[in-house]
Amino acid sequence: MNDTLELGHTTADPADQRDPGSGFGRMSLNNDAVARVNTITVGGVTKATVGNPVQNTITLNGNANLIITNTIGADDAPLGTLTMSGSSKLTFSTVVAGSPRVYVQSFLGNAGSLEILSVPGDGTYPLISYESAVSGVSLILPPGFFGYLVDDPGSRVISAVVSSAPPKSLVWRGNISSDWDTTTANWVDLDTMQPATFTDGDAVLFDDTATGSTVVTVVGTVIPAGGTVFDNTNKSYTITGGTISGTAATLKNGPGSLTIEATHAPALVVSNGAFALSVGGVLNGGLTLRSDAAASSAGTINGPVSVLAGSFVNDGTISTAPGTITVGANTAVTNNGTINVTGQWTVSADAVFANYGRVNHIAAGNNRLTVNGTLLGDGIISDLDGGTTQNTIDGRLVIAAGGVFRPGDTETEVIGEFMVEGRLDINNGSTTIIDIDLNHPATNDVVFADRWSTLQGRIVMNNIGTVPFAVGQSFHIFRNNNGDTFPNSPDNANHIPVMWPLAPGLGMQWDLSDFRTNGIIRIAALAPTNAPTLGAQFAGGTNLTLTWPASFAGYQVQVQTNTLDVGLTETWYPVEGSETTNRVDLEIDPNNPAVFFRLSAE
């Protein structure tokens, strides 16, 4: 296409129904698709992308290649989102010093490459101007040129630094000083095995061959664009001082430890050994943990965080935008600080997320934490754009089937509070453990929420004190953030949890009559005359509905089918799911000669 492609063309007259006042356009290239475009503009006359960033998008997948002669978007009319994945390419016919080729609000360069077909010569060329970015792309240059990408979060521009001189591969010795600068020969060139100084664009290695300091002081800003590798076993490295910039990821291999006290712009992948980000340290490219060793942060992490192995403790601040946080299977993540998350995320099965700090869901829309593993602690999970009613609360905490929720717990059983500034769903198949100590001023764990919709699964009333359960006791388990008198209307009024133990004690029962609306569980007497009644209703000769009082939640309908000459026996079979409700609907099989039902607490 030798002309201009307009995404989301709009007019200057939004009131004119014949022409759109606001609209959007999306371009997606997949597999081996190639598109050649002179210029891509966004938003037309009204520049409608402003304030509506997600609508006008370009997505490059697989081996797709988008070749641009001039520019995409403009400073006052940027593209909403540019996403690159796989081996896709964004190709620039040429570049111009001082003038970005792409203006975008969110650049999700998860993979792929930026290629420049022609460069005027050595220099720095701005490529992408952004509002937020995840940059994992590489740079391809014409023959005879070498270079790297620099992501400057201050100016929010990704630039290509181009040189006709090839980069070096260096290993740290530190025999002269601890300074990582461009003038001190603290390095050895791996090609010549001669002492060398560092030049921006070089690849660097830190291993056990260091003969001097392993506390490395970054002087000013260095750009190891060829990549940084820590492959240390017996030596521990600490990086302090200025800024490590560039877009080439830093890899931590080897069982030795690494501590960062500086500002680190590239993505950091820890595959082996312990890692710590100290107070004052900054990771601007996110963090991926694949090591079984412990990792911790008391500093600031910007970008996605993936905990795929081992344990991680956050005492600082994490802001995952424009990505999210991953809590992988068999991992343990503890948050004592602040985590700002965009989008939906999950605590995987067999993982533990202990929240004693604050988690903020900061993006608009349906932000959601789904717990398939274990969630515990006395922290806060907040949907910052939440509301007070069903239709205005879009963020939520979901305890899914198989998930475990232990509000207030640390490594030992304690009474505490957990706050959900949003909607709470506790789904069927989950387990919620409530610690109770009648000698404690707070009596029991409490979960605060803006609204609860589903309260199912199994609720374990765990008496950790010396005072036994007794008739008349009352436990306010779930409380509304808007006040105890604020009405709560669950979506499924007939859904009730399974209580454990099934009864508080001899002659007692759990009273759930005020549970779904106000979150209160009481203990009532179970008199012999207070036996439950199993009601039956027939419909059309083919359907049977059995009901019983909600106060007998946790009881199970059991059934046996026999011939008429056998009658009733001692063998009973459960009606699956009946212990989570007080109503079951069954189909009548006319071929069964005799069917018996009973309601059992066992």
Closest C-alpha among 86, 73, 76, 62 to residue 37: 73
| pLDDT reported for residue 186 | 98
Dihedral sign of CA atoms 282, 287, 289, 290 in order: negative
Which tokens is 120 given?
Answer: 């005027």
Closest C-alpha among 484, 489, 487, 445 to residue 464: 445
Residue 78 has phi, psi (to 5 degrees) of -80, 160
Which 8-state DSSP code applies to residue 552? G
| pLDDT reported for residue 46 | 44
Instruction: Judge contact between 383 and 422, C-beta under 8 A.
Output: yes
| pLDDT reported for residue 53 | 46
Average pLDDT, the chain: 89
| pLDDT reported for residue 602 | 65
Residue 165 has phi, psi (to 5 degrees) of -95, 130
Q: How many CB atoms lie within 10 A of CB 143?
A: 4
| pLDDT reported for residue 9 | 65
| pLDDT reported for residue 23 | 62
Which 8-state DSSP code applies to residue 391? T
The label of the residue with tokens 């830093």 reads: 250
CATH ID of 531-600, from 3.40.50.720, 2.60.40.10, 3.30.750.24, 3.40.30.10: 2.60.40.10
| pLDDT reported for residue 19 | 52
**Cα–Cα distance measured from residue 394 to residue 396, given in angstroms and rounded to the nearest whole number:** 6
**Cα–Cα distance measured from residue 419 to residue 169, given in angstroms and rounded to the nearest whole number:** 51
| Collapsed DSSP state (helix, strand, coil) of residue 343 | coil
Domain ranges of the chain: 4-163, 303-525, 531-600
Report, as ranges of residue numbers, the positions in the chain whose pLDDT lies below 50: 17, 45-46, 49-53, 390-391
Strands (E), 153-271: 157-163, 169-172, 179-180, 187-189, 195-196, 203-206, 215-222, 228-231, 237-244, 250-253, 258-260, 263-264, 268-270
